[in-house]
Chains A and B, each alone.
Chain A
Amino acid sequence: GNSVTQMEGPVTLSEEAFLTINCTYTATGYPSLFWYVQYPGEGLQLLLKATKADDKGSNKGFEATYRKETTSFHLEKGSVQVSDSAVYFCALWTGSGGSNYKLTFGKGTLLTVNP
């Protein structure tokens, strides 16, 4: 079956530090990969996605590259801000057409950025 493994948190950084959150996956077929962010007390927001090998998703200074050879989709940001403090979820999807839209999520990584 499909699974996603994220690095254990929490991660605590100072403002302007470099961020990496590791994500590896196991999947049948060729999954689409996602990073979602959850701010305190809120639902999930799509941060970025990649649909095929070597694709790079990017948004708001965050980037992640779909690495098929290492089955990884690590999230990076060059300079974090206090406002980036949130829980980050890596997820994958292997459905197609009008059915099987199940997303498989990792357990989430809590990021805290201090001023």
Chain B
Amino acid sequence: DAGVTQSPTHLIKTRGQHVTLRCSPISGHKSVSWYQQVLGQGPQFIFQYYEKEERGRGNFPDRFSARQFPNYSSELNVNALLLGDSALYLCASIGGGGTDTQYFGPGTRLTVL
């Protein structure tokens, strides 16, 4: 089975622009979470989606938004990019049945100039 996939791998944007990051979870998994990992730090929780509904939101500004599609893939959108948004964005796939284990994708490296 394929693992979690994310696209693109790398992205360079300038301040004020908008970016869309994509994630496909493991087949059969209905929930995804998004995390931001700034260089030298642990990942910080941004969003969780389950069955296309937002189930959790971290302490991030409204410039960050996400959605989940009927096939359980997900998009993370960031508007009005700031230099501080430069980070590795990780998507995690979560199985059902109350399992607590999250499987991470390789991430998208976003650089804002």
A interface list, Cβ under 8 A from B: 4, 32, 34, 36, 42-46, 49, 51, 89, 91, 93, 95-108
Contacts and interface: CB of A to CB of B under 8 A. Distances in A.
Interface residues of B, number: 31
A45 B105 CA distance: 9
Interface of B: 4, 6, 31, 33, 35, 40-45, 48, 50-51, 55-56, 58, 88, 90, 92, 94, 96, 98, 100-107
Contacts of A106: 42
A108 B42 contact: yes
A102 B41 contact: no
Contacts of A43: 4, 6, 88, 90, 104-107
Contact of B101 (A46, A104, A107, A108): A46
Where chain B touches its partner, the secondary structure class is strand
**Best-surrounded residue of B88, B102, B106 (most CB of chain A within 10 A):** B102
Nearest to B106: A43
A42 B33 CA distance: 17
A73 B105 CA distance: 25
Contacts of B56: 95, 99-102
Contacts of A4: 42
B100 A32 contact: yes
A98 B105 CA distance: 20
**Best-surrounded residue of B4, B51, B100, B106 (most CB of chain A within 10 A):** B100
B96 to A, nearest CB: 7
Given A98-B31, A100-B55, A44 B48 contact: no
Nearest to A103: B102
17 contacts: A36-B104, A42-B107, A44-B104, A49-B100, A89-B42, A97-B98, A99-B50, A100-B56, A101-B33, A101-B55, A101-B94, A102-B48, A103-B33, A103-B43, A103-B102, A105-B42, A106-B42
B103 A46 contact: yes
A101 B102 contact: yes
B55 A98 contact: yes
A97 B96 CA distance: 8
